Amino acid sequence: MFQVRPQLRPTRAVIVPGNGAGDIEKSNWYRCVWERLEEIPGFQCILRNMPDPRYFNRPWQWEKIKANCHRIVQFASTDDPFLPWSEQQAVANELNAELYKFPDRGHFQSSEFNELISVIQGILNRAA
């Protein structure tokens, strides 16, 4: 028989894949969850309006983002050809993100991302 322990509450995790400066509004995954993502205050990818200001022209709402997210994990690489390291570091600083810094991952365009799986597993194990 299934019982819910009174001290436990149902939880929900949302993993939002980031996309540095691409056209995220036309990405297949984004279209599927458009309304839910639009509810996240300040949902954006970069600080400055690059490369196309029409996608990133809202001011960042750092405090609202932090209040809406229990945990923020950011993966960034110093050799990213599209996002300057200073932008990635600034976002991590403003959000007090748990930053995983890499020297050689570029824009993380490989088909495998084992570090992400490890971080998620660690979070789930600590929550259990």
The whole model's pTM is what?
0.62
Closest of 9, 74, 14 to residue 46, by C-alpha: 74
Mean local confidence (pLDDT), 21-38? 51
Sequence-distant (6+) residues with CB within 8 A of 50 are: 21, 56
Q: How far apart are CA 97 and CA 89, in angstroms?
A: 10
Q: Which domains, from first to last, does the chain contain?
A: 24-127 (3.40.50.1820)
pLDDT tens digits along 55-73: 556 677 788 878 877 788 8
Tokens 């200001």 belong to residue = 53
